[in-house]
Amino acid sequence: MNGTLNKVILIGHLGDEVKMHYFEGGNCIGRFPLATNEVYINKTTGEKITSTEWHNIVVRNKAAEICEKYLSKGDKIYIEGRIKSRQWQAEDGATKYTTEIQVTEFTFLTTKKDTDLSKSSLPTGSAPEDF
């Protein structure tokens, strides 16, 4: 294979509400933490261990607005996207780093809002390629 691939697939639960940020020109982004869990048995003690990994999720424009409308803390979502690392200068002058998942596709698996919706009518979407 001559090319490269940057693709992430996650199924997890929202750790908080979707936080929206709006920009001049009408664009917006939504951010939320997503928890994925790994469960295994400690062979020495027989104890069931749950390990949680947190992911910083970023959705853009219409996809962000859909996520804000339908998702709440604890909801389960399927996400496809790509890893993006970035850095910035904090107010104290320190250089800060973060790694995010930029969403390209998503499907709501469970939502607390609009519980009258049947599962088949839960929104799915694609994030436009306007990164």
Residue 41, pLDDT score: 94
Q: Which element (helix H / strand E) includes 39?
A: strand 28-41
- For residue range 46-55, list pLDDT tens digits in order: 999 999 999 9
User: Does 22 score more than 80 pLDDT?
Assistant: yes
Cβ atoms of 81 and 6 closer than 8 Å:
no
User: Does 125 score more than 70 pLDDT?
Assistant: no
- For residue range 70-105, list pLDDT tens digits in order: 999 999 999 999 999 999 999 999 999 999 999 999
* 113 or 27, greater pLDDT: 27
Cβ atoms of 102 and 131 closer than 8 Å:
yes
User: Which pTM does this prediction carry?
Assistant: 0.81
Cβ atoms of 21 and 29 closer than 8 Å:
yes
